[in-house]
Amino acid sequence: MNKVREIIFYKHYFETFFNAQTGIVKNKIDQVLFLITHVLQVPEKFLKHIEGTKGLNEIRIESGNNIFCCFDK
């Protein structure tokens, strides 16, 4: 499967956050990031445009009762 977009992490923030998660949550994050990089039209459940902005999106990852959000420009 070919990549349609690239994710670039800013400084160490994502790595620090990711390393603090449990194995189950890390797996879920990996799945969503894979989906975002390989699927042309990502479901709004995972990637949603933030109203009132230009090119700013929110990445949503749900694991159990927790929802993790990141921002993508």
Residue 44 tokens read as 């709004």
Check pLDDT > 70 for residue 69: no
* CB-based contacts of 4, cutoff 8 Å, min separation 6: 37, 38, 39, 40
Residues 37 and 66: their CA atoms lie apart, in Å, by 23
Question: Which residues neighbour 48 within 8 Å (Cβ) at sequence distance 6 or greater?
Answer: 57, 58, 60
Tokens (6 digits) for 57: 């999106």
Residue 5 CB neighbour total at 10 angstroms: 12
User: Could you read off the pLDDT of 29-64 as tens digits, one per residue?
Assistant: 999 999 999 999 999 888 888 889 887 788 888 877
